[in-house]
Amino acid sequence: MAEAKIIDGKAFAAGLRSRVAQGVADLKKSHGITPGLAVVLVGEDPASQVYVRSKEKALVELGMNSFDHHHPMDMSEEDLLVLIAKLNADPAVHGILVQLPLPRHMDTTKVLAAIAPEKDADGFHVVNAGLLATGQKGAIVPCTPLGSLLLIRDTLGTDLKGKRALVLGRSNIVGKPMAQLLLQQDCTVTVAHSRTADLPGECRRADILVAAVGRPEMVRGDWIKPGACVIDVGINRVPGAEPGKTRLAGDVAFDEAKLVAGSITPVPGGVGPMTIACLMLNTLTAACRAAGAPVPAEALA
Ligand code: GUN
């Protein structure tokens, strides 16, 4: 059998970003509004600093406002809640992102609940999770699952009816919303996790396999149904070929999987670039809703 098609998330994300930039320019022209995202970072976690910087850079590149709020590790939860209340009330702020993980002395659930749902650019608020789970309009959808779905639809076509989908991982950020999105597409969805019996067997039945467990190369080639579409959400740093060097690995053993799958996302260059592009899309969507302008999300995606 031929090797899998490598799904180019970087190229798809670049296209989406340029469509979002056009949407931003249109909103400025029609309503005089520049979409703005407040990016809140507490502490100095190096990975979080890298993520936050790339989000802020993307906002500026696409013509949006980036309101940066970087605070030291010892910021109190009370002060963070006061900041969020201020951002909720600020009409120039259309989206709010609080970078996770938060320091241990903070209650993440409480902090996320304080964000106004219509400004929740990450889609982590229970109101947005509930709107998505009940299939209602107006949900802001978490960026990584949204980006994954866009890649799946671009690869397999928009009719996913009746396909068997296996989501490996049950996090609130990826696994659960991913399962909801695939269910909305009329897939038959299984959510597997660390306690699932016969994980390889479950995976082998899947036409669409989304791996989001954060365990490097856990999904082996012989876990994959021949021809399946494999979406690898994992970004794991592992020891590289040379001593002292590291490399990025997904949750899927790529070299084995590409010999069996029909299509597969690489790591890096697959889902990763889609997450930021979808954050830009969510920010534009929130700004359009706030302005009473048509929401271009469907057309852009
Ligand atoms: N930390 C890891 N991924 C994410 C994400 O998508 N959003 C936020 N806010 N924090 C994260």
Mutation test of ligand 1: which of 84, 99, 102 has the most ligand atoms closer than 8 Å to its C-beta?
Answer: 99
- 153's enclosing H/E stretch is helix 143-156
Query: Looking at the whole model, is its pTM more than 0.95?
Result: yes
Catalytic residue among 119, 120, 122, 258: 122
The CATH number given to whatever domain includes residue 91 is 3.40.50.10860
Domain assignment present for 230:
yes
The answer to whether residues 163 and 230 belong to one domain is: yes
The answer to whether residues 110 and 169 belong to one domain is: no
pLDDT in tens, 59-79: 999 999 999 999 999 999 999
pLDDT in tens, 111-131: 999 999 999 999 999 999 999
The answer to whether residues 197 and 95 belong to one domain is: no
Number of domains in the chain: 2
The answer to whether residues 161 and 218 belong to one domain is: yes
The CATH number given to whatever domain includes residue 156 is 3.40.50.720
Domain assignment present for 221:
yes
**Quick check: 300 pLDDT over 80?**
no
Alpha carbons 237 and 248: distance in angstroms, whole number: 5
pLDDT in tens, 212-267: 999 999 999 999 999 999 999 999 999 999 999 999 999 999 999 999 999 999 99
Is 184 a residue of the active site? no
Residues 155-182 have a mean pLDDT of 98
Domain that holds residue 159: 143-273
Domain assignment present for 233:
yes
Q: Please state whether the peptide bond connecting residue 266 to the residue before it is cis, i.e. omega within 30 degrees of 0.
A: no
Domain assignment present for 290:
no
The answer to whether residues 111 and 165 belong to one domain is: no
Alpha carbons 156 and 178: distance in angstroms, whole number: 16
